[in-house]
Chains A and B, each alone.
Chain A
Amino acid sequence: MNFIKRHPVLMSLVLFFFATQVISLNLEEKHAGDPFSRFVLLLTYYPQKSIFALTGTVVSIWQNYVDLVGVREENERLRLEVRKLREERFRLWEEELQNKRLKNLLGLKKVYSYKTLSANVIGGSPSMLRSQVIIIDRGKEDGVSEGMPVATHEGIVGRIFLVGAKSSEVILITDEISAVDAYIHRTRARGIVKGTGNGCVMEYIEKKADVSVGDKVVSSGKDGFFPSGVVIGTVIGVESSAGFIRARVSPDMDLDSLEEVLVILKAPENRVANDE
């Protein structure tokens, strides 16, 4: 013990060596979801849930007493309705385009519909090393498993990264390790949407493709994680990059202030991209 106190720099170098080794190991096989990790999720679940409930109660009391209750509720209901109508309009638009394409085809397309599970966001990442992580109050006991997509009515949020008994970690689509196979809704140009830490970029779009600012980006379903036709965001900038087009994409919702999300109960499939 005295040796450690007398030679802190040497000890730090030893720890540094271990850190580099740990990084090497984990880069090949990241987060296997070991029992210790699950235990930490369980250990922090109750305090996080209590804080969520406490803040929820305080905020609720504040809003109910200070705001005009009736107006707020009405506003909330109308906002929900507008969201649903927007979603419905978008879906109809999507189906119209799809129908036009399918008229030329003889094959049948199987339409998937998945069950969803609502969840509250009870926490976020404690470190800026990976800040694009949220913690939700649903876990293995609710049927959640690793890789399941998470969304809201406004579009894709991310996917389940680690599952505990009662809570789970979600990697947001804006995180650097996140990637979604997607297409531009208006022109069907394909690409991969990757997180940048504070937004998204759609990469590997063919040079000849038609992409412009304001285009909606939707998931293709080819990556095996996300169902097809779910909104990812809107193109806010286009540039050319090494023989491809690169589009900056802004998610349609504020991912930093999510309160409720939907877990799409769809297990990841082992699919090969470009299997059209």
Chain B
Amino acid sequence: MNRVLPVIFLILLSLLFIVLQSTFFSPIHFGHAFYPDLNLVLIVFLGLFSDLRRGAIIAIGNGYMMDVLSGYVIGIHSLSRLSVFVILKGISQHIYSQSRITQAMAVLFATLFLWGFIWVSLRLKTDDLEFGISLGDVMTQGVVNTVVGLPVFWIINGLYAKVQW
């Protein structure tokens, strides 16, 4: 079993998704919540299939790049995505990850959890918060992520299986 290639594959994939997210799939082109969050799909994949250490490093690195490119508070994407990863890692031991229904549920749950985490963190620490994202936006993104992201998830799964051997 190859140990180096999967790591390189995941790092390159993370970079590719960040670039795609900031060009083709940027919310500025797609409208507020109608864009698929490819990076979150990657985090869900890491949570269900990769090992803890490498997955955590890639999740936090991916979140950091999101922080920088979105011009937001450094750390909010990194920590929220790491949190999604950790929760999914814990759950993945008790579920059958290869099931497509499980994967769809995981993507939807991850979207809801991610925005819940961000909303509560900001709410606790800012008095005059104007959180420009509604529950409807989050639900929309959850559905978009699940529908559009799931085929992407299967492609990653297939490629990852190939680079492992």
Contacts and interface: CB of A to CB of B under 8 A. Distances in A.
B82 A15 contact: yes
Interface of B: 15-16, 18-19, 21-29, 32-33, 35, 37, 39, 52-53, 64-66, 68-77, 79-80, 82-83, 86-91, 93, 117-118, 120-122, 124-126, 130, 132-133, 137, 141
Interface stretch (A74-82, A132-140, A263-271): A132-140
B83 A12 contact: yes
A22 B75 contact: yes
Contact of A43 (B15, B130, B137): B15
Contact of A130 (B52, B70, B86, B126): B70
B29 A20 contact: no
Contact of B71 (A6, A55, A162): A162
A79 to B, nearest CB: 22
A23 B69 contact: no
Contact of A9 (B53, B90, B118): B90
A40 interface: yes
25 contacts: A5-B52, A11-B90, A12-B83, A15-B86, A16-B79, A16-B83, A16-B117, A19-B75, A22-B75, A23-B73, A23-B76, A44-B19, A51-B23, A124-B27, A124-B28, A126-B18, A126-B25, A126-B26, A126-B27, A131-B26, A135-B69, A162-B71, A176-B132, A196-B132, A198-B32
Q: Is the interface of A mostly helix, strand, loop or mixed?
A: helix
Given A5-B93, A130-B72, 4 more contacts: A12-B83, A125-B70, A196-B132, A197-B130
Contact of A19 (B69, B76, B133): B76
A218 interface: no
**Most chain B beta-carbon neighbours within 10 Å: one of A8, A18, A36, A128:** A128
B22 A125 contact: yes
B125 to A, nearest CB: 4
B112 to A, nearest CB: 14
Interface stretch (A24-32, A90-98, A207-215): A24-32
Contacts of B25: 126
Contact of B27 (A37, A127, A162): A127
Contact of B26 (A6, A9, A124, A196): A124
A127 B79 contact: no
A19 B83 CA distance: 10
A145 to B, nearest CB: 16
A135 to B, nearest CB: 7
A8 B19 CA distance: 30
A48 B74 contact: no
Nearest to A126: B21
A129 B64 CA distance: 14
A44 B22 contact: yes
B153 to A, nearest CB: 18
Nearest to B132: A197
Contacts of B21: 126
